[in-house]
Chains A and B, each alone.
Chain A
Amino acid sequence: MKPKQLILALALTLGAATLAHAGDSVKIGYITDLSGVYSAVDGPGGEAAIKMAIHDFGGSVLGRKIELMDFDHQNKADLAAAKAKEYLSQDGVDMLLGGTNSATALAMAPIAAQYKKPFIVVGAGASSIVGKQCTPYTVMYAYNTTALARGTASAVIKHGGKSWYFLTADYAFGKSLEDEAAKVVNADGGKVVGQVLAPLGASDFSSYMLQAQASKAQVLGLANAGGDADNAIKQANQFGVTKSMKLAGLLLFLTDIHSVGLPAAQGLYLTTPWYWNQNAQSRAWAERYFKQMKAMPTFLQAGDYSAVMSYLKAVKAAGTTDGTKVMAEMRKMKVNDMYMHGGSMRPSGLMIHDMYLMQVKTPAESKEPWDYYKLVQTIPGNEAFGPAAAYGCSLEK
Chain B
Amino acid sequence: MPRRPRIPVYMVWGLLLLAIAAPWLGLYPVLGMRMMCFALFACAFNLLAGYTGLISFGHAALFGGAGYITGLALTSWGWSTPAGILLGVLVALAIGLVMGVLAVRRYGIYFSMVTLALAQIVYFYCLQADFTGGEDGLQGIPRGTLFGLPLQSDRVMYYVVLVVFVASWWFMRRIVRSPFGQVLQAVSENEPRTISLGYRANRYKLGVFLLSAGFAGLAGALKSVVMGFETLTDVHWSTSGLVILMTLVGGLGTDLGPILGAVIITVLEEKMGTISRFLEQLTGIHWFATLNDSASMVNGAIFVLCVLLFRRGIVGALRERWGGAQVPAD
Cβ of B272 and Cβ of A72 under 8 Å apart? yes
Known: A78-B227, A83-B270, A107-B231. A35 touches B294 (CB 8 A): yes
How far is B230's CA from A76's CA once the two chains are assembled, in angstroms? 10
Q: Are A133 and B292 in contact (CB under 8 A)?
A: no
Q: Return the contact of A172 from the options B136, B227, B297 (Cβ within 8 A).
A: B136
Please state if A78 and B140 are interface contacts (CB–CB under 8 Å). no
Q: Which of B136, B270, B292 is packed against the most chain A CB atoms within 10 Å?
A: B136
Is A115's CB within 8 Å of the partner chain B?
no
CB contacts (< 8 Å) of A82 on chain B: these are 28, 30-31, 34, 227, 270
A172 to B129, CA, bound (A): 8
In the complex, A43 has a CB within 8 A of chain B: yes
- Which residues from 73 to 90 on chain A have a C-beta closer than 8 Å to any C-beta of chain B? 74-79, 81-83, 85-86, 90
Q: Which residues of A contact B233 (CB under 8 A)?
A: 75-78, 103
Are B128 and A43 within 8 A (Cβ)? no
A34: CB under 8 A from chain B? yes
A76 to B31, CA, bound (A): 14
**B135 proximal to A (CB < 8 A):** yes
Neighbour of B270 across the interface among A34, A79, A200, CB < 8 A: A79
Is A85 a contact of B273 with CB atoms below 8 Å?
no
A77 proximity list for chain B (CB < 8 A): 137, 227, 229, 231, 233
- A27→B139 CA distance, assembly (Å): 27
Is the CB of B295 closer than 8 A to any CB of chain A? yes
* Cβ of B144 under 8 Å from chain A: no
Residue from A39, A75, A79, A171 within 8 A of B128 (CB atoms): A171
How far, in angstroms, from A110 to B227 measured CA to CA in the complex? 12
Q: Is the CB of A44 within 8 A of B293?
A: yes
Please name all residues of chain B whose beta carbon is closer than 8 Å to the beta carbon of A69 when the two chains form the complex.
273
Contact assessment for A171 and B134 in the assembled complex, using a CB-CB cutoff below 8 Å: yes
Which residues of A (29-78) have their CB < 8 Å from a CB of B? Answer: 34-36, 39, 43-44, 69-72, 74-78
Q: Which of B34, B136, B273, B295 contacts A128 (CB 8 A)?
A: B136
Q: Are B269 and A172 in contact (CB under 8 A)?
A: no
Provide the bound-state CA to CA distance between A36 and B231, in Å: 17
Q: Does A102 contact B (CB under 8 A)?
A: yes
What chain A residues lie within 8 Å of B134 (beta carbons)?
171-173
Min CB gap A292→B, angstroms = 15
Distance in angstroms from B321 CB to nearest chain A CB is 24
| In the bound complex, CA of A173 to CA of B127 (Å) | 10
B295 touches A173 (CB 8 A): no
Contact with A along B221-245 (1 / 0, CB 8 A): 0010001110111000000000000
Bound together, the chains give a CA A70 to CA B223 distance in angstroms of: 25
Chain A residues within an 8 Å CB radius of B223:
78
Q: 1/0 per position for A74-118, CB-CB distance to B under 8 A?
A: 111111011101100010000000000011001100100000000
**CA of A36 to CA of B292 in the docked complex: distance in angstroms?**
12
B133 at the binding interface (Cβ < 8 Å): yes
B177 vs chain A, min Cβ distance (A): 33
Known contacts A90-B28, A171-B127; A74 and B296 CB within 8 A of each other: yes
Say yes or no: B30 contacts A86, CB within 8 Å. yes
Give chain A residues whose Cβ lies under 8 Å from the Cβ of B133.
172
| Complex Cα spacing A103 to B34, Å | 18
* A71–B276 CA distance with the chains assembled, in angstroms: 12
- Choose one: A70, A103, A172; the contact of B292 (CB below 8 Å): A70
A170 within 8 A of partner (CB):
yes
What are the interface flags for B290-303 relative to A under an 8 Å C-beta threshold, 1 for contact and 0 otherwise? 00111111000000
Q: How far is the CB of B233 from chain A (nearest CB, A)?
A: 5
Tell whether, in the assembled complex, residue A171 and residue B135 are in contact, meaning their CB atoms are under 8 Å apart.
Answer: yes
Contact with A along B248-273 (1 / 0, CB 8 A): 00000000000000000000011011
**A74-B296, A81-B229, A90-B28 as given contacts; A103 in contact with B270, CB under 8 Å:** no
A-side residues, CB < 8 A to B, are: 34-36, 39, 43-44, 69-72, 74-79, 81-83, 85-86, 90, 102-103, 106-107, 110, 126, 128, 133, 170-173, 199-200
A-B contact pairs, 24 of them (CB 8 A): A35-B294, A36-B296, A43-B293, A72-B293, A77-B137, A77-B231, A77-B233, A78-B229, A79-B269, A79-B270, A82-B28, A83-B270, A102-B136, A103-B231, A103-B233, A106-B137, A106-B229, A110-B140, A126-B136, A170-B128, A172-B128, A172-B133, A172-B134, A173-B134
